[in-house]
Amino acid sequence: MSNTDHVKRESYFSRFRKRWKRRGVVEIDESHSKHHFTSLIRHGLQSSIVSSTQIPNTSSSDEFSEKESKTLEDGSSYEFVSYAPQVFESLREQVGFTASQYRECICPDDLDLKYLEFVSNSKSGQNFFLSNNKQLMIKTIARNEKHFFCNILRQYIEHLKKYPHTLLVRYLGLYKIAVKRQEPVYFIVMQSILYPEERIDIRFDLKACTAGRNTKEKDQDTETITIYKDVNFDDRIIHLGPQSDWFFQQIEHDTKFLQNLRVIDYSLLIGMQNLHADEIGENSDLAAIVCRTQKSISRNHSVRRGWPQSPSKTMSIIQEGNSDVRPQQSDNQSAINLPGTVENFNETAFINEGSDVDHKPSLLSNSFSDNSLTEAESLTQNRRLLPKCRNELHVIDGNEGERYYVGIIDFFQTYTVRKRFEGVYKGIKYKRSGLTFSAVNPDLYATRFREFILAHVM
């Protein structure tokens, strides 16, 4: 068996045996069956990532169809292809990854920082690998999925520009490894929605249907990462409080985008945890809100940079503009009116959801740059006040002492003829039971998805 055959879609028996032999996250060392393949990934990525002094312009159609191919040596000769490299470099910059940071995370020179294999109760048959710090995920995809992603890449990028705080997972690179006389393997690099996962108590993958969407008790094990499904979600409620309106609106934008692409079978991935003592209140002090607002309305959409070394640094910036650090409670001192902001900030009325003010407060005249959006622009893009934590784009703190990691994943499945026949078959099969299934028209899938969210978020 060839080295790359290990990363093809696996049979049910192979996946079953693997889950019993190796459960959870496994370090890929020299004895691991995927070690050679991940070595090719590391070597190929290192050769493809170059530093850039500026974000490339992604408006040219040539940049979306461009591919960079290199013949490399790593024990044997192989071809490594990077698709639309300038487009993805631009996207990585927008979410805060410089070329050097991306390289350090996904393909570090230190060989002791090994890749991790992610093993869960998923039945997709695809392979998942994590960077050593678990911030980025590598996923193998089929050839037809690669073609589809290339075809929609321009629309995907435009959607992320239009709604920088979208719930769609950020794909940061698309690649191919081809070894002579072997079928090529395609893979994508994406941000892990469930990062950091150390404190997550429970995970759900929700498709707003019920047929086959139940993780049974026998599937649970202390050594595996169990991802529960719709039936297990039952009557749970996601308590987002003042951020629920923003959430509903973004779900509407994202599902309509996928609906127009004629995509089905996508999921809402949710991780839940109770806030710990060191997390409670860290987002509500004045210094944190100032910094959060700056990041949330940046035109660069970069969300990984800019946290002050200490609250005093931000407070000193504020004091330069006004000697009174505590602004008076007045509607005309509201910051940019972002959806999902803190309603009853006990220090000030600095953030006021009900405000109709359309200008920045004079108090912060020195702490906001010309690179900040106006309030009208922010509302058009449905921005929210990002939390002060890692993975800000996918983390939402609720109003019941819970933190949610939320994102939409797996939107490469189109409504093909095969899916239509599958829908007819399942319609007959589940007619009496009343179970719902995913092989339905994209319009129905999106509508049902939105209705499910509406029923479970408040």
Pick the closest to residue 334 from 354, 307, 309 (CA basis).
Answer: 354
Identify the pLDDT of residue 346. 40
Q: Looking at the structure, do residues 291 and 412 belong to the same domain, yes or no?
A: no
**CB-side exposure of 125: number of CA atoms within 13 Å?**
10
Residue 201 resides in a domain: no
Backbone angles phi, psi at 38, to 5 degrees: -70, -25
* 14 and 94 assigned to the same domain: yes
> Within this chain, do residues 375 and 446 fall inside the same structural domain, yes or no?
no
Q: Is residue 243 part of a domain?
A: yes
Portion of the chain with pLDDT greater than 70, in percent: 74
* pTM, full prediction: 0.81
**What three-state secondary structure class fits 83?**
strand
HEC letters along 8-54: CCCCHHHHHHHHHHCCEEEECCCCCCCHHHHHHHHHHHHHHCCCCCC
pLDDT at residue number 371: 79
Distance of CA 6 to the CA centre of its chain: 26
In the predicted structure, residue 358 carries a pLDDT above the cut 80: no
Which residues form the domain of 427? 217-278+401-456
* Burial of 170 per CB tally in 10 Å (0-12, 13-18, 19+): buried
The number of residues in the chain equals 458
In the prediction, which pLDDT does 221 show?
Answer: 52
Has residue 205 been placed in a domain?
Answer: no
Q: How many domains does the chain have?
A: 3
User: Is 123 part of any domain?
Assistant: yes
Q: What is the mean pLDDT of residues 151-161?
A: 95
CA angle 429, 433, 438 (to 5 degrees): 60
Task: State the pLDDT confidence band at 341, using cuts at 50, 70 and 90.
Answer: low
Domain shared by 343 and 256, yes or no? no
Burial readout 102-126 (b: 16 or more C-beta within 10 A, e: otherwise): bbbbbbbeeeeebbbbbbbbeeeeb
Closest among 99, 73, 249 to 172, alpha carbons compared:
99
Q: How far apart are CA 245 and CA 250, in angstroms?
A: 9
Q: What is the mean pLDDT of residues 274-293?
A: 83
Residue after which a domain boundary falls, among 158, 176, 192: 192
Q: How far apart are CA 154 and CA 38, in angstroms?
A: 29
How many other C-beta atoms are found inside a 10 Å radius of the C-beta of residue 9? 12
CATH code assigned at 173:
3.30.800.10
- The band of 274, judged by pLDDT with boundaries at 50, 70 and 90, is very high
Q: Minimal CA–CA distance to 286: which of 249, 324, 331?
A: 324
Residue 344 is predicted with a pLDDT of: 41
Strand ranges in 246-358 using DSSP code E only, listed in sequence order: 263-264, 267-274
- Torsion angles phi and psi, residue 271, rounded to 5: -115, 140
Q: Which of 79-88, 182-191, 376-385 has the lowest mean pLDDT?
A: 376-385
CA 119 to chain centre: 19
Lowest mean pLDDT among 55-69, 164-178, 202-216, 272-286: 55-69
Q: What's the token pair of residue 161?
A: 């520009």
Q: Do 230 and 162 fall within a single domain?
A: no
Instruction: Give, to the nearest 10 degrees, the angle between helix 85-94 and helix 99-106.
Output: 90
* Average per-residue pLDDT for the chain: 80
Same domain, 176 and 68: yes
